[in-house]
Structure 1
Amino acid sequence: MNPDLEVVQIRRGESFKAWAHGYPFHTVRWHFHPEYEIHHVVATTGHYFVGDFIGEFEPGNLVLTGPNLPHNWVSDVPAGASVPLRGRVVQFSQEFIADATAALPELAGCENILELSRRGALFSTATAKLAAPVLAELVEAQGVRRIALFMELIDILSRAADVRTLTSASYLPDPSGFMSAGVNKALAYINANLTEPFSESDLAAIAGRSPSAFSRSFRRHTGMALVQYVNRLRINLACQLLMSEADMPITEICYAAGYNNISNFNRQFLTQKGMSPSRFRALLAENVSAEIAA
């Protein structure tokens, strides 16, 4: 069975994603993503799946999974029952940790545990007890405190003893193969054709599903409707153009980002960024002027 792609949304102004969830939850499924993930079980018992590994978990289970390594934790709870807090999760990209290491060479000390995570790294009960209060505070923290707690967490994991790798030595995740299936194929199409017109029916056909089934699956994959997902990607592209093409008229940026209506473009930009495209550009210009003056 091919895993689903989980689209990890790291919010603007944050370096990584830290969050908690209950059970059942829409991300609790056989899935993968290009980000590293620290996964800590707070409540319930059950079975967990990492690559070709299957094991039993209980509260305190702490695992670091590497990029594109499929995983899932399935809790044993009665049908119809729910758990308000099942686990806490931290997700961060390869680019983030590489850039952080370039700026802070001391982070090179975490390279070994990151390498082990490509096979799934299971930590001891003692390490999980050290990490638990840090994770609990991290999911609620803001500002510089988030960074301090993240560094503390990475330090705990990097210095851990008795780390066990989970998948077999021969197991290699195949994200290109995963992406050829179902909704993953549609997501790849969106990324390759973001500025071109396409409909939900077009994507459903690519995924080999009915429009209604595709719509449900897409929301489960991304946590949002197709229109919201596409608008977010297109506005992010518009921001990149506003930052890199200072002389490009905003109307041209509107069309280059895949919109064919300037009013809709302005409305979507305001919704997502809290300001108009012209205001966004003006603030960028102020920032550049301040740097020159300094």
Structure 2
Amino acid sequence: MEAVLEQIELGKKQSILAFEYNAPHFDTPWHFHPQHELTYIEESVGTKYIGDYVGFYEPGELVLLRSNLPHCWKNHSDAGKQSKSIVIQWNKGVYAKVPELQSLFRMLTSASRGVIFDKEVAASFLPRIKKMTQLDSHQLYIELLNLLSDLSECDYTTLSKAHFIDDLPIEFGSRMSKIHDFIEKRFHEKIYLKELADLVSMSEQSFSRFFSKMMGRPFFTFLNEYRINIASRMLIDTDLTIAQIGYACGYESLPFFHKQFQKFMYVSPLKFRKKYAIQ
């Protein structure tokens, strides 16, 4: 499944879409589009890719993406829940860049890295976001403006270290989609750089340069980050031992697993599990 420029059906008669997504999986691959997007996750857990960011997602997250920022949500296949979200997409330029909307456009600039809002903030906006799926025409236009203006006054955190303003070449997205799918299926196994290079028809050296340019870090740093995000979810959602989780996530050496977990989560696996066990 290749990542291409997603064609969103917005035109002269409609500049905003607001809809609910409900399916067994989030099927859209790593992709981008010229519209801005606001997504609220209602159900399922998994991994989200926002620009060069990789991390797990869970219900209650509200994420704002500026146009052309590559992204996707991959739900964990064994989570046993539907993948449900509320999505609002709108064309650039629908709102005039006037002084009164300075904070709104400052937020949209930050959204070139992807921004995530505090869960309490997201929960407080959920009724309004749900209501927008029932609106159309000028009502939807006005309510989105009000919603974005109010969100721009709230605290948010950026996700991607790099920002994406220009269009992503389609062939880049296609390669990254193949790489993400490969990692999702094989993260628990030993992975060789040549396998990835062959997958996208590149030399190992060219692949390393390409991946570092797209994701802001070497491939094996990214792979360890991905594995540790999976491990962190398993520590919360399962009763497997720490050793079992380390091996299940592709680590042949438990000391190395502990070292990598500490590196990315700033805490040991045991302390991480205890922290979430009491919440």
Give the letter aligned to residue 72 of structure 2: N
Question: Which digits, 9 at most, give the CA deviation of each residue in 1:34-88, with x for residues without a partner?
Answer: 1111011011111111011011111111111111111111112449x672x6101
Closer, same or farther: CA 27–76 of 1 in aligned 2, 3 Å? closer
- Paired residues of 2:32 and 2:168 also in contact (CA < 8 A): no
Say what the alpha-carbon RMSD is for the aligned residues. Answer: 2.8
Whether 1:101 and 2:96 are equivalent positions in the alignment is yes
Whether 1:166 and 2:159 are equivalent positions in the alignment is yes
- Paired residues of 2:43 and 2:81 also in contact (CA < 8 A): no
Give the letter aligned to residue 34 of structure 2: P
Whether 1:138 and 2:121 are equivalent positions in the alignment is no
Closer, same or farther: CA 27–35 of 1 in aligned 2, 3 Å? farther
CA distance, structure 2, for counterparts of residue 134 and residue 112 of structure 1:
22
Closer, same or farther: CA 128–180 of 1 in aligned 2, 3 Å? closer
Runs (4+) of structure 1 exceeding 3 A deviation are 24-27, 170-174, 179-182
CA distance, structure 1, for counterparts of residue 173 and residue 107 of structure 2:
31
Match of 2:147 among 138, 149, 153: 153
- Paired residues of 1:22 and 1:82 also in contact (CA < 8 A): no
Closer, same or farther: CA 174–95 of 1 in aligned 2, 3 Å? closer
1:46 corresponds to? 46
Closer, same or farther: CA 142–176 of 1 in aligned 2, 3 Å? closer
CA distance, structure 1, for counterparts of residue 51 and residue 125 of structure 2:
24
Which segments of 5 or more consecutive residues in structure 2 lack a partner in the other structure? 175-279
TM-score of the pair, normalised by structure 1: 0.53
- Paired residues of 2:45 and 2:58 also in contact (CA < 8 A): yes
Whether 1:175 and 2:167 are equivalent positions in the alignment is yes
1:235 corresponds to? none
CA distance, structure 2, for counterparts of residue 132 and residue 63 of structure 1:
12
State the percentage of identical aligned residues: 26
- Paired residues of 1:2 and 1:178 also in contact (CA < 8 A): no
Give the letter aligned to residue 177 of structure 1: P
- Paired residues of 1:127 and 1:160 also in contact (CA < 8 A): yes
Q: How does 1:251-262 map to 2 (within 5 A)?
A: none
1:120 corresponds to? 114
Give the letter aligned to residue 96 of structure 2: T
2:180 corresponds to? none
CA distance, structure 2, for counterparts of residue 27 and residue 19 of structure 1:
16
- Paired residues of 1:5 and 1:179 also in contact (CA < 8 A): no
TM-score of the pair, normalised by structure 2: 0.55
Which segments of 5 or more consecutive residues in structure 1 lack a partner in the other structure? 183-294
SS of the counterpart of 1:116?
helix
- Paired residues of 2:26 and 2:73 also in contact (CA < 8 A): no
- Paired residues of 2:22 and 2:85 also in contact (CA < 8 A): yes
- Paired residues of 2:42 and 2:85 also in contact (CA < 8 A): yes
Ranked by relative contact order (alpha carbons within 8 Å, sequence separation 6 or more), the top structure is 2
In the comparison of the two structures, how many residue pairs are matched? 175
